[in-house]
Structure 1
Amino acid sequence: MNRTHDEGQPDGPDDEDASRSVPETDAAPADPPIRTDGGEPPADDDREAASTDEELSEEEAQEMLEGIDRKRTLSGWAAILTSFVAIWFSVFQSWLAARGFEFAATIPLVGEVSLGSLQLLQVNSIHVAFALVLAFVLFPATTGHGRFAAALGRVVPTLASNLGEDNPVTRVAAGIRRFVRWLAVDPDRERVTPLDLLFIVLAVATAAYMVFEWSEIQRLRVFGLEAGRTVTEYLGAPFVSLSETLGPLGFLADAVVAAIGVLPFADVSYPFFLGAVGVLLVLEATRRSLGFYLMVIVASFIVYARFGYLISPSMPLIGVLSIPEGSWANIIQNLWYNTENGVFGIPVTVSVQFIYIFILFGAFLEMSGAGQWFIDLAYAATGTRKGGPAKASILASGFMGTISGSSIANTVTTGAFTIPLMKRSGYRSEFAGAVEASASSGGQILPPVMGAAAFLMIEFIGVPFSDIIIAAAIPAVVFFFGVWVMVHLEATRAGIGGLDRSEVVDLGKHLARGWFYLIPLVLLMYYLLVERLTVARSAWFTLIAIMALLSVVAAYSERTRVPLVGAIVAAFAAQLGAYVTTGVGVIDAVTGGSGEPLGATAALFAAAGDLGIIAIFVSLVVMLVRPALDSPLLEFDDAVDEAAESVAGAVSRPSLADLNIFRYVTFIGKSMDSGARTSTEVVVAVAAAGIIPGVVSATGLGPNLTALIKAVAGGSIVLLLLFTAIASIILGMGMPTTVTYIILVSLLGPAIAQSSDIPLLAAHLFILYFGVIADITPPVAVAAYAASGIARSNPFRTGTKAFSLSLNKAIVPFAFALTPGILLLRGRGEAAAVITFADVAEIGYFVPEVVIPVAGVFIGVIGLGATVIGYLYSRVSQTERALFALSAFLLMAPMLLLNAAFDLGSFLGLVGTVPDTVAVDLAMRAVGGALFGALAVKNRRETRERAAPAPAEQVEPTD
């Protein structure tokens, strides 16, 4: 690649970074950066020194991810039982997505047998209990390596040195230390401790009570928790009955009842005790899986609910936080036995209905091999272009981010492959890590999945998911376009080319080998936007499609192609005929079932709904008949093949791992296992975060808090949005985006809705965007720091660079909050709705309020790129960078500047209200466009002048 700079001009603003040297290592120098122009590699002093060990292996990337996740690495029976629980968690959730809360089984010749049904509170409690069990298995209580544990660890040595090892005090302290280590400490993250087992039993008990004591719970909702049976009455009841049965040996059961009676909480209401234990279990699972910070925040709200009445209403500023006195029984009832708020409130309900099934969809897609296929596709499409590795990273990370929903996990998994390639192509370590972190964090705002927060919007603001997808589409594209522009400008400034054609796969052949990976995403969009099915049904149908596609791919070969396709077509035709003649499917018809015959169209749709099951059944039969077939298109994720080899080795049949049917069944199990493990942290997060709106609702804090926020903002929409943005970033540092969203929507959402005419969907997307920004905002830029570990770069500088690359993500929310047309919304406040074809046809509205603002943000991010990189066609001076920044603001968010100016004028008593007219908006965008155009033309002209050859000197004629 060509790394030339303009002669005679200073380097761009980042050249100081480019020329710095990294710490010396013992490794040999790395290969020179990849070049595609045939030129010489840059001099050593023009690029970073690198080492051959800079690329992370897959094992190192996995270790880094496990270190970030703080999960155990289990083996033996512990690993088997964990996977068993995880798979059943996914089976339970899959049933809910497919059949709802009714549990029934169809038995041939008998018909459908009902097994019962569950209420929402019962389903939510089982959902959370599964997550708690997995959390206590996957995350240790302590490794004994923290500062507090280290301080306690010095107690025994100190006593031994002062009192002697044989002193009774020292021996007792040493015994206590051994007991605590046995009970709870897991230094190597590989042992399930007795304390974990106790917590698991208690978690199961909370769900069991919800399921088997539903009539008592209904009564307690009326009369309160104090009306429930005591701990002694509830736990002792089985032993009382057993005492009467055992006869002479009944004294043993009586002894158990007596022992229960001496417990310190024996006379406490059992439902109150179980509810309090359940809340504490959620807090402990939160501490283990999500960190001490979030646990403290949630616990402080619980303490506030009990003691907030101590705040005097007459106290300045915080007097509005005074609440009525409440009892612990009422607090626990609101937090534990309630589906409106609390642990089992709206966030967990959304997790049950939407979030889990989409995480499972992502797990199936990832384990199918789609993740690596899409990464290779991105490199095939853009890898050979200028700055190609970074551009490919943007595409690949964006796709993987929308599947995983985790900025950190996506950064580590894709970054292990993309970051070393970016560095070898010539990008600096900090820049390479920043690109990966920035693009990975953007996955949470990219439709159609958008992480978990998008599903919460469905319940919080009551809009269809299809509307959320449509509204979020343009801002998401603008963000990735903005990062793309900055990457391109950096590549142009530093002369960075792309990968050699031999280093990327052929695009046509790659598409031919994996085109079927696109089908699930197309189907998902079809179900959501065209058929407008529910989110859960759309995800379930797409899940079946993935399993059907992979079963066909696993059974496909040159020898099986004709019989496989023929059998599927024949089975589909038989199913269609059965619906036309009997009104039921083939199996039901054979076993004696019947119904009303369907018309041709209705029968075709009914049979099409069964096509996935038909394809799976036929493919499994083909794989059984030809177990040794070699499918040329089957490329599962490495994790699937490793699991197949591990299971085959465990049963002493290693040859099983080579059979496609065994690999396919392993794929199903591994996907369900992975989906449950990924969901565990999300479920724990939403369960904990649900406590906060529960406290706000139960204490009546909401109206007072809204009044306080409105008073502080002083009627300024700019200040209100700034408060929200800052709070989102601060709260989101080191905290899952979903939790940040839930907390801020509960605390700030009403204030935004009441203080402005910003559409609710725009306000919620605003909070989501800034929650995502927190992942790449120093000092706690968790995604950027993860990327820094792979890039071997300075963490803080990687974080600041990632933030600067994502700067348009901080401006675009202000733009769409004040100009809803960017979200394809028409109207203000609660009246806002997604535009229709009639709105598009209304040129007087569509052009000035949609087309021009959307064009403005796209052009504005180019100006923002020139500001951040300091380069357009050539180097941009500091003054020009400031002017480019001004043009970007005028093009992207002119109303932000106008509102801020009028707020300042109002504060000084100089101006009145803001002229909220389309004409003013258009005029300011025109000024921004003119300024940008003038700067771009000037920069282009200067570049040409520098590149023009100097005129030849005139030679005087001589005689």
Structure 2
Amino acid sequence: MTDRTEPQQDRPEGPVVAEGVDKEPVEGNRRLYRGWHWWLVTTAAALYAAFHMAALNGLSISAMTGGAVDLPFLPSFPMETWNFRIVHIAGALALGFVLYAGRSFTLAPEVERRWLSWLAWALMAPAVFALGAAVSFAVSIAGGTSWNGMDAGIRAAEIWRFGVPLMVATVGAILVSWAQRRTRDAIHPADLVLAVCGAAVATYLVTIYGTLMRNSTGTPFAPIGISIAAVAGTLLIMELTRRVAGLALVVISAVFLLYVFTGQFLPGFLNAPAISWERFFSQVYTDAGILGPTTAVSSTYIILFIIFAAFLQASKVGDYFVNFAFALAGRARGGPAKVAIFASGLMGMINGTSAGNVVATGSLTIPLMKKVGYDKRTAGAIEASASTGGQILPPIMGAGAFIMAEITGIPYTEIAVAAIIPALLYFVAVYFMVDFEAAKLGMRGMRDEELPKLAQMARQAFLFVPIVILIYALFQGYSVIRAGTLATAAAAVVSWLTPHRMGLGAIARAFHLAGTMSIQIIAVCACAGIIVGVISLTGVGARFSNLLLGLAAASQLLALVFAMLIAILLGMGMPTTAAYAVAASVVAPGLVELGIPQLTAHFFVFYFAVVSAITPPVALASYAAAGVSGANPMETSVVSFKIGIAAFVVPFMFFYNSALLMQADWLEIARAAATAVFGVFLLSAGVQGWFLGARAVWFLRAALVAAALMMIEGSLATDVAGVLAAAAILFVQRIVRPKPGATIPVRGAD
């Protein structure tokens, strides 16, 4: 088949130049402030991000000035771990409620209901009263008062002076915020009330946990205030998560919370012992739940790399990535689709959210894909698949690598190295799928005059220096925090070699951007911590492990398929980090119980949690892409599933052959990688119906898929069988040459 060129009027006019592709989209409920409101919120967001950078690197005003300036009211670094995580969540809650309204804004003028504002201001009184009570408790404890959950006087004080006002303000303000009507540049007082409630929760918990009362959580000696503060904190986290990430994770969290108190009535492995609300909530806001692994990662690695991404954006590296991809791959057939693979993979690796990356880079690549001949469903699906793949691309892996290291205790560098071949297989498969689709449609690439000049892009290759420094520092044994800090500083330094030099103003804007960008992922991680807490405190994870063991007794493959389905189901509608954290708590321990190595088990879960973003019926990345392309969301998710089909096969490949995770000698690793690449090539050819320059009839497509599956097991015998099957298919294709639509092979012209 000869290639065809799209009509001139359908091609982009002039060269394609990416600008602002890494800018954060403005959500429908996001407030856009002006004047002094903007300055106030911007400063708060910048200070929040800068606080984390200082805390993570152990900096303080006193240390940086050699003791010349000492401000005792500021926190000293390094902070105590639990206190740092509590403050981390409280800051995100305050910023989040100020920046995100309880409902989306409309284009029509909003009618303000004044009585709701008056009610909200009235709720400020109990919120401030609760905050004041928490402060008074701190003063009393500092003065030597012995605090004990068994003391009737202390219990009454915590309930009536702190708990009741806090719950009235929290619940009331959430309900009022749902009904609010205000302009987009004005904050509703109900959201200020919620911010004060978050501060009250944090103040109380920091005070009480600082008295070693953390050891009493889950016992009758735990002060009742811990349980009440945890209930309020849980409600605040779930409400902010609803605002910034939608209902999916909130509904799942609510179901798990309901399970805590109904599990005693359920049959089979779901049956759980009865637990009182005081005991459960006194534990859930600890490192067994909300302050556990998910918040540990969001308060350290994730926010650090969000700051890194903000500095890259300020130095225009995101634009450079996309322009470099256009210069490198734009000339290939179906050029914009292949650009999307490279650019979205790089951007998705850094920003940690496939749906957000779709909106950012897809705003450029999807229209171009449509112009060169891809239908709108396929254009959106390619972008969704590529952006999702960025979450499994080392070294950052959308922050997933850091959560895996935190949960498993496996060194980060080992995880990053193990991820190389699986990520390669995924992107190679997506590339083949895109290339075969372009071949079937007879597409050409973009013309030279439409593309950035590769020579010019090569002269700006120094913009890759921050990422090179990051990788080098990590593999030289530097801590993740030190490596991330060095890479962030490098982003500011290399900007001075470009027109976008980062001065103090630009650095402040980068911190502001980081503080704003971090809100969603912090809320999501805290909300996922609620689910992790339920799993650990009810023991449902152990019972799920027993269920997998029972299935494995019948068939290990059946157990793996069941684990795959549960990981996808738990991940649907959730960002990558939350999806993996929840699935790792439920599914991974069961796989380890089956005798599967810990690294393999967690990678297996991680991949399926990631691809839930392109798995129907709830596919966040595909739905975001459909919004950009104008296609039907469900149809786009189905095509995304087809394009990303390799991601559903690769985990079984490295389960059967650990060499794909670098767990073997180099010769075995090389053989496994080569045969696996050939396997995904055959799989892509079978799915797309295009094999070595010609369309494949239905039975050859089936044979190609069968040959690809032979490569999964990883043994030499099955690899040889797969290669021989591919040779037989090629013989039939080239010599027998069956006609399209034939039911049996016949000889004839194509």
Fold shared per TM-score above 0.5 = yes
TM range (shorter): 0.7 to 0.9
Q: For 1:493 and 1:406, locate their aligned partners in 2 and report how far apart those are by CA, in whole Å.
A: 32
Q: State the Cα distance separating 1:482 from its structure 2 match.
A: 1.1
Q: State the Cα distance separating 1:390 from its structure 2 match.
A: 1.5
Taking structure 1 as reference, are residues 690 and 223 closer, same or farther at Cα in structure 2, changes over 3 Å only? closer
Q: State the Cα distance separating 1:362 from its structure 2 match.
A: 1.4
Pair 1:767-2:605 in alignment: yes
Deviations 1:870-906 (A, max 9, x none): 1121111001000011111112x136xxxxxxxxxxx
1:35·1:499 contact (CA, 8 Å) conserved in 2?
Answer: no
Pair 1:524-2:502 in alignment: no
Q: Partner amino acid for 1:535?
A: V
Q: State the Cα distance separating 1:721 from its structure 2 match.
A: 1.5
Give the structure 2 partner of residue 97 of structure 1: 56
Q: Partner amino acid for 1:889?
A: L
Q: For 1:388 and 1:667, locate their aligned partners in 2 and report how far apart those are by CA, in whole Å.
A: 34
Map 1:659-698 onto structure 2 (within 5 A): 664-698=503-537
Taking structure 1 as reference, are residues 403 and 884 closer, same or farther at Cα in structure 2, changes over 3 Å only? same
Give the structure 2 partner of residue 130 of structure 1: 91
Map 1:724-735 onto structure 2 (within 5 A): 724-735=563-574
2:18·2:320 contact (CA, 8 Å) conserved in 1?
Answer: no
Pair 1:540-2:485 in alignment: yes
2:655 to 802, 817, 825: 817
Q: State the Cα distance separating 1:223 from its structure 2 match.
A: 7.8
Taking structure 1 as reference, are residues 324 and 734 closer, same or farther at Cα in structure 2, changes over 3 Å only? closer
Give the structure 1 partner of residue 118 of structure 2: none
Q: Partner amino acid for 1:131?
A: A
Taking structure 1 as reference, are residues 935 and 188 closer, same or farther at Cα in structure 2, changes over 3 Å only? farther
Taking structure 1 as reference, are residues 521 and 818 closer, same or farther at Cα in structure 2, changes over 3 Å only? same
Q: Partner amino acid for 1:470?
A: V
Give the structure 2 partner of residue 490 of structure 1: 437
1:879 to 699, 715, 720: 699
Q: Partner amino acid for 1:463?
A: I
Taking structure 1 as reference, are residues 682 and 801 closer, same or farther at Cα in structure 2, changes over 3 Å only? same
Q: For 2:346 and 2:17, locate their aligned partners in 1 and report how far apart those are by CA, in whole Å.
A: 21
Q: State the Cα distance separating 1:440 from its structure 2 match.
A: 0.9
Map 1:111-150 onto structure 2 (within 5 A): 116-117=76-77, 118-143=79-104
Deviations 1:120-157 (A, max 9, x none): 11000001111111221222223498xxxxxxxxxxxx
Give the structure 2 partner of residue 199 of structure 1: 194
Deviations 1:62-81 (A, max 9, x none): 89x434x7433333343332
Q: State the Cα distance separating 1:365 from its structure 2 match.
A: 1.0
SS of 2:102's equivalent in the other structure is: coil
Give the structure 1 partner of residue 494 of structure 2: 549
2:263·2:274 contact (CA, 8 Å) conserved in 1?
Answer: yes
2:261·2:275 contact (CA, 8 Å) conserved in 1?
Answer: yes
Q: For 1:201 and 1:442, locate their aligned partners in 2 and report how far apart those are by CA, in whole Å.
A: 39
Q: For 1:704 and 1:84, locate their aligned partners in 2 and report how far apart those are by CA, in whole Å.
A: 48
Q: State the Cα distance separating 1:813 from its structure 2 match.
A: 0.8
Q: State the Cα distance separating 1:103 from its structure 2 match.
A: 7.3
Give the structure 1 partner of residue 387 of structure 2: 440
Q: State the Cα distance separating 1:497 from its structure 2 match.
A: 0.8
2:558 to 686, 697, 719: 719
Aligned residues: 672
Taking structure 1 as reference, are residues 667 and 860 closer, same or farther at Cα in structure 2, changes over 3 Å only? same
Give the structure 1 partner of residue 408 of structure 2: 461
Q: Partner amino acid for 1:335?
A: V
Pair 1:708-2:547 in alignment: yes
Pair 1:924-2:718 in alignment: yes
Q: State the Cα distance separating 1:116 from its structure 2 match.
A: 3.7
Taking structure 1 as reference, are residues 466 and 196 closer, same or farther at Cα in structure 2, changes over 3 Å only? same
Taking structure 1 as reference, are residues 66 and 113 closer, same or farther at Cα in structure 2, changes over 3 Å only? closer
Taking structure 1 as reference, are residues 418 and 671 closer, same or farther at Cα in structure 2, changes over 3 Å only? same
Pair 1:788-2:626 in alignment: yes
2:331·2:447 contact (CA, 8 Å) conserved in 1?
Answer: yes
Q: For 1:61 and 1:753, locate their aligned partners in 2 and report how far apart those are by CA, in whole Å.
A: 39
Q: Partner amino acid for 1:66?
A: V
Gaps of 5+ in 1: 6-17, 19-28, 37-54, 146-176, 230-268, 312-317, 554-632, 636-659, 827-838, 841-845, 896-920, 947-959
Deviations 1:336-368 (A, max 9, x none): 1x22x1111121112222111012111211221
Taking structure 1 as reference, are residues 870 and 719 closer, same or farther at Cα in structure 2, changes over 3 Å only? same
Deviations 1:917-944 (A, max 9, x none): xxxx211111111111232344345789
Pair 1:777-2:738 in alignment: no
Map 1:473-872 onto structure 2 (within 5 A): 473-512=420-459, 514-529=460-475, 531-550=476-495, 552-553=496-497, 633-635=498-500, 664-756=503-595, 758-826=596-664, 839-840=665-666, 846-847=667-668, 850-872=669-691
1:34·1:426 contact (CA, 8 Å) conserved in 2?
Answer: no
Give the structure 1 partner of residue 254 of structure 2: 299
Give the structure 2 partner of residue 650 of structure 1: none
Q: State the Cα distance separating 1:181 from its structure 2 match.
A: 7.0
SS of 2:690's equivalent in the other structure is: coil
**Mean CA deviation greater in 291-300 or 678-687:** 291-300
Q: State the Cα distance separating 1:320 from its structure 2 match.
A: 3.1
SS of 1:348's equivalent in the other structure is: helix
1:184·1:195 contact (CA, 8 Å) conserved in 2?
Answer: no
Give the structure 1 partner of residue 126 of structure 2: none
Give the structure 2 partner of residue 320 of structure 1: 269
Q: State the Cα distance separating 1:735 from its structure 2 match.
A: 1.4
SS of 2:446's equivalent in the other structure is: coil
Q: Partner amino acid for 2:200?
A: A
Q: State the Cα distance separating 1:794 from its structure 2 match.
A: 3.2
Gaps of 5+ in 2: 107-171, 741-750
Q: For 1:358 and 1:851, locate their aligned partners in 2 and report how far apart those are by CA, in whole Å.
A: 32
Q: State the Cα distance separating 1:821 from its structure 2 match.
A: 0.5
Pair 1:278-2:278 in alignment: no
Taking structure 1 as reference, are residues 862 and 122 closer, same or farther at Cα in structure 2, changes over 3 Å only? same
SS of 1:770's equivalent in the other structure is: helix
Give the structure 1 partner of residue 150 of structure 2: none
Q: State the Cα distance separating 1:201 from its structure 2 match.
A: 0.2
Max radius of gyration: which structure? 1
Q: For 1:35 and 1:129, locate their aligned partners in 2 and report how far apart those are by CA, in whole Å.
A: 49
**Mean CA deviation greater in 436-445 or 929-938:** 929-938
Give the structure 2 partner of residue 431 of structure 1: 378
Q: State the Cα distance separating 1:109 from its structure 2 match.
A: 8.1
1:143·1:189 contact (CA, 8 Å) conserved in 2?
Answer: no
Q: State the Cα distance separating 1:677 from its structure 2 match.
A: 1.9
Pair 1:80-2:39 in alignment: yes
Taking structure 1 as reference, are residues 709 and 76 closer, same or farther at Cα in structure 2, changes over 3 Å only? farther
Q: For 2:64 and 2:253, locate their aligned partners in 1 and report how far apart those are by CA, in whole Å.
A: 45
SS of 1:130's equivalent in the other structure is: helix
Identity of aligned residues (%): 33
SS of 1:66's equivalent in the other structure is: coil
1:121·1:210 contact (CA, 8 Å) conserved in 2?
Answer: no
Give the structure 1 partner of residue 136 of structure 2: none
2:208·2:214 contact (CA, 8 Å) conserved in 1?
Answer: no
Taking structure 1 as reference, are residues 180 and 298 closer, same or farther at Cα in structure 2, changes over 3 Å only? closer
Deviations 1:239-260 (A, max 9, x none): xxxxxxxxxxxxxxxxxxxxxx
Give the structure 2 partner of residue 66 of structure 1: 26
Q: State the Cα distance separating 1:791 from its structure 2 match.
A: 2.2
Q: For 2:217 and 2:283, locate their aligned partners in 1 and report how far apart those are by CA, in whole Å.
A: 13
Q: For 1:350 and 1:823, locate their aligned partners in 2 and report how far apart those are by CA, in whole Å.
A: 23
Q: State the Cα distance separating 1:384 from its structure 2 match.
A: 1.5
The TM-score with structure 1 as length reference comes to: 0.65
The TM-score with structure 2 as length reference comes to: 0.83
Q: Partner amino acid for 2:652?
A: F
Taking structure 1 as reference, are residues 61 and 922 closer, same or farther at Cα in structure 2, changes over 3 Å only? closer
1:351 to 298, 305, 311: 298
**Mean CA deviation greater in 401-410 or 321-330:** 321-330
Taking structure 1 as reference, are residues 546 and 34 closer, same or farther at Cα in structure 2, changes over 3 Å only? closer
